Amino acid sequence: MMYVLAVLALLLTVTPYVNCQNACSNSFDGACLIEMRSLYASSSAFWFGTRYQTDCPPGKVSPLCRNTTPSRKSLLSRIMGENATDTSGLGFVPNVTYHITLPADGSVRTFNGCGRIAEVPLDRSQKFGVDPLGNSIYTPYDLSEEPEVTWPAEESALYTVMMFDPAPFYMHALYVNVPGGRLKDGDTILPYFGPRNPVDRNNPYVWLVFRQTRSLDPSLVPNNRIPVYVEDLVRQLGLLTQSYGLSVVMTSTDEWAAVFIRSVNFLNRCPVYYGQWLTSYIQERGGISSLPEPLDLSVSIEVTFTAPAITYKSCGIVYDRSPVNVTLDYRNMDLLRSVEVRISPQINLVTQVFEDTSFRDKQYTLMMLDMSPELGKTKQNPIIHWMIVNIQGVTREEVYSWQMPRASSLNQLYLFALFEQKNPISTASARTYGESNCPSLGKSGCSFRAADFIRDNNLTLVGLRHLRVMPDTYQQYMAYAVTKISTMEEACWGRAETAEKCPTA
């Protein structure tokens, strides 16, 4: 794991090479082809071109600097070989048209994002053609469905069609024996797998169309996705390079791509999107004064609750609950019951780059706070439920032991908050920021001056995790039978089994 690098806030974008109107805006004719050949051979148009040496000097480590072959500076060299210089083989520009499928019920598109359900309103035409010289930058989610691809075909000819990411040499789609001038029929070697741009940087993806010299045996066509060198594939399949087609689709990144990239343990950009969502969510509820805005996060907090099976009697009824083993991470948005969060959780911290070890050299503070009392107010009065300081590797010091959340509604704002420390923190000093009755939770909870503690110890917020807890019968049981913060009548008020029975006669 590695603490997120500040350089990720910087954007490495493609060098502007077009205006709104260009030679390919209206038709893919001769003028368009001339400009495409120029772009094809340009060594400065894309992030891996000549500016890469400036943005990523030797020794600089960053996800933005991942480039296995920095000597290949143009699309031409990354597709046809490092020493390729002849662009005359580029004979046409395929027409690539994407469709966006909307929910049948007319609702907004959604997908499982980074610890939340992300809504994606349609902000472009539902059907759009790609202008390879245009200034449109597409999100991976909008390119998730296989497009229509057409091209000027020779009679009775068969074609190989591919979608390729020239940055990591990744094959996103590969089809052979495609008849005519439309991506239809033929043999699918690698089904369409849309762009998954992992970093906040514009990146080109290319559609390539080659005429075949013969029908190909699909079982003999390589089906690996990475690394793939197109020049080797062209030679192995005997594809013609006298007149082939190329179109360019420029993409940014988005939360949809981040979820996939996180799932394969390549890069974790989920804190960025999670922080954006939490910022909006908290602002909509009036804001909180103890935490900065916007929430610029760089670490994912994964929370795992485990507990054995339990039997308890609440308000006159006996309940048997199964063992608990649930992890809240970028994939999990569950609403938990109080009985499931009764024991302190295990915490796993996931930084942006998995393999870097500098994260272990830093110290951190973790708090679990109920921020509900502070929403929409200027006074700092969150309730502390757990606090650990001087976290470094496997060492840590507990200030306040775990206090089970007792939610009064589904809107309770429980947050696990992770801060980077500059210096060690005394546990005794930390306790002076809480009320004298801490850590026991009374009827009004245990307030903690979080804003003062954060400021006085020069802490930097790096991670958050929203914990959603619903009131349940175990919470009632704990209130009157264990903590005795209420009577049984108060805790069970309104329950049918405790209500006075109506007369029957």
Q: What is the pLDDT of residues 391-411, one digit of tens each?
A: 998 899 999 999 999 888 888
Lowest mean pLDDT among 15-19, 196-200, 415-419: 15-19
* pLDDT higher than threshold 60 for residue 58: yes
Q: Is 411 exposed, middle or buried (0-12, 13-18, 19+ CB in 10 A)?
A: exposed
For 131, phi then psi, to 5°, come to: -95, 110
Average per-residue pLDDT in the chain? 90
What are the pLDDT digits (tens) for 83-95?
A: 999 999 999 999 9
Helices then strands (H, E): number in the chain?
Answer: 10, 23
pLDDT band per the 50, 70, 90 thresholds, residue 381? confident
CATH of 268-494 among 3.90.1210.10, 1.10.8.10, 3.90.280.10, 3.30.70.141: 3.90.280.10
Peptide bond into 405 cis (omega under 30): no
Arithmetic mean of pLDDT, 51-55: 91
- Sketch the domain layout of the chain as residue ranges: 6-260, 268-494
Output the CA angle 343-345-350, nearest 5 degrees.
175
More confident residue, 378 or 56: 56
- The pTM for the full model equals 0.88
CATH of 6-260 among 3.40.50.300, 3.20.20.140, 3.90.280.10, 3.60.10.10: 3.90.280.10
* pLDDT higher than threshold 80 for residue 32: yes
pLDDT at 325: 97
pLDDT at 439: 64
Question: Which residues, including other chains, have CB under 8 Å from residue 210's CB and lie 6 or more apart?
Answer: 159, 160, 161, 234, 237, 239, 240, 241, 244, 245
For 251, phi then psi, to 5°, come to: -125, 150
* pLDDT higher than threshold 50 for residue 19: no
* pLDDT higher than threshold 90 for residue 436: no
Residues in the chain: 505
Buried b (16+ CB within 10 A) or exposed e, 112-148: ebbbbebebeeeeeeebebbbbbeeebbbbbbbebbe
DSSP β-ladder status, 469-470 and 460-467: unpaired
Percent of the chain with pLDDT over 70: 92
* pLDDT higher than threshold 70 for residue 20: no
How far does Cα 233 stand from its chain's mean position?
33
CA distance 310 to 338: 13
pLDDT at 12: 32
SS3 at position 204: strand
Helices (H), 360-501: 427-431, 450-456, 473-477, 488-491
pLDDT band per the 50, 70, 90 thresholds, residue 440? low
Tell me how far CA of residue 98 lies from CA of 18, 357, 409, 434, in angstroms: 21, 42, 44, 57
* pLDDT higher than threshold 80 for residue 303: yes
Beta strands in 146-275 (DSSP E): 148-150, 158-165, 170-179, 187-190, 203-211, 244-251
CA distance 185 to 173: 14
CA distance 243 to 92: 7
- CA dihedral (33, 36, 41, 45) in degrees, to 10, reads 170
Domains 6-260 and 268-494 share a fold: yes
pLDDT band per the 50, 70, 90 thresholds, residue 294? very high
pLDDT at 5: 30
